[in-house]
Amino acid sequence: MNVKNLFSEFNSKKILVIGDSMIDAYLFGEINRTSPEAPVPVVETKKHEMRLGGAANVALNLKSLGATPILCSAIGDDKEGKLFIELMKKENLITEGVIISKIKRTTLKTRVIANNKHQLRIDEEDSSPIDNEIELIDLIQKLIYNIDVVVLQDYNKGVLTSNVINEVIKIANNNNIPSIVDPKNDNFFNYKNCTIFKPNLAEIKIGMNINNELRNLKDLNKVTTKLRQQLNSDAVLLTLSSRGICLDSHNNFYQFPSYKRKLVDVSGAGDTVISVAALCLSTNINYSNLTILSNLAGGLVCEALGVIPINKEKFLNEAIKTLKNE
């Protein structure tokens, strides 16, 4: 496989990203003392940043890799929603697929980073189902034209209702467009007939009601095969945190360990994994190389603090070295 040609091929891909979006706010500062009011540290703020998060971070990763992402999501009719659109425009992302909910607020996650460490996260959100399912589904019907892959990014914030999920997968399959899912447990078994289902270890243990740590290949193979069959999906791509990644398909089972890195922050790694897997799914590469590249990308973004999209050039250089040694 020519890795450079593969990465060049990403530039022609058009990916529809459907799911829960949010704003990731960051307070960067220093801790030099303890509060006299309570035994808690005092953070002296030095910098404040607002970034796109959730499904919008998947869109940013895809854009960083050269593809054209179209985000389909719902935000609130509030100041955070207006800021969200401003941030999208600043990043040159297409805003056509974002609808306004009159009953939901825009999700805001604030991370407090002090002394180069993630100290605290504050979530302001509304996880109730969206009130305009039909509007979203109609919009997806219009935007599906010339799409290479559909990504469903579920954060349990109400965009991906069971009805939206069923309709989206049906639309994708009717148009012969592959779909890849990053689930949460509320809708775990609603993604039937998707192409690739990508849970993490915690999610599959809860979803499949498993009490052991799935530390041997036999157990991993058994549970991923069972899940794949239950969902009638083509493959299950399971991220294993520090233990790497595995993929179960109709014909094969692959497991690859994580690469040695200096881990700084795992936030957003799943967004990067599904972005790379989606782009690989849009090409003709095999599931083994798809799994290797997804694993490599997920580790790369953990070397930086906060949720950030992957650097394509750095990823390409590592991919060339890695696949040469496989």
- Domains observed in the chain: 3-33+43-325 (3.40.1190.20)
Q: Are strands 68-76 and 14-19 parallel, antiparallel or unpaired?
A: parallel
Which segments in the chain show pLDDT lower than 50? none
CA dist., res. 18 & res. 98, Å (int): 10
Q: Is the dihedral of CA 203, 204, 207, 209 positive or negative?
A: negative
Could you read off the pLDDT of 169-195 as tens digits, one per residue? 999 999 999 999 999 989 999 999 999
Cα separation of 42 and 91, whole Å? Answer: 33
> Structure tokens of 269?
């790694």
Residue 94, φ and ψ in degrees, nearest 5? -70, 130
Catalytic machinery residues? 271
Rounded CA-CA distance 185/114 in Å is: 31
pTM over 0.75: yes
CB 212 within 8 A of CB 219: yes
What is the reported pLDDT for 203?
94
What pLDDT sits at residue 241? Answer: 81
- CA dist 150 and 239 (Å) reads 20
Which residue in the block uniquely carries the two structure tokens 């595995």?
A: 246
Res 265: pLDDT: 52
Q: Which helix (H) or strand (E) holds 182?
A: strand 179-182
What is the structure's pLDDT at 192? 97
pLDDT of residue 170: 97
49 and 26 Cβ atoms separated by less than 8 Å: yes
Three-state SS for 17-54 is: EEECEEEEEEEEEEEEEECCCCCCEEEEEEEEEEEEEE
Quote the CA–CA distance of 241 and 317 in Å, as a whole number.
23
27-31 — which CB contacts under 8 Å span 24+ positions?
27/110, 27/111, 27/112, 27/113, 28/113, 28/114, 29/112, 29/113, 29/114, 30/114, 30/115, 31/114, 31/115, 31/119
Q: Cβ(241)–Cβ(263) under 8 Å?
A: no
The region, left, alpha or beta by phi > 0 then psi within -120 to 50, assigned to residue 125 is beta
What 3-state class would DSSP assign to 300?
helix
Reading across the β-sheet that carries 107-114, which strands appear in turn? 41-54, 21-34, 107-114, 117-124
Report the C-alpha gap between 215 and 305 in whole angstroms.
29
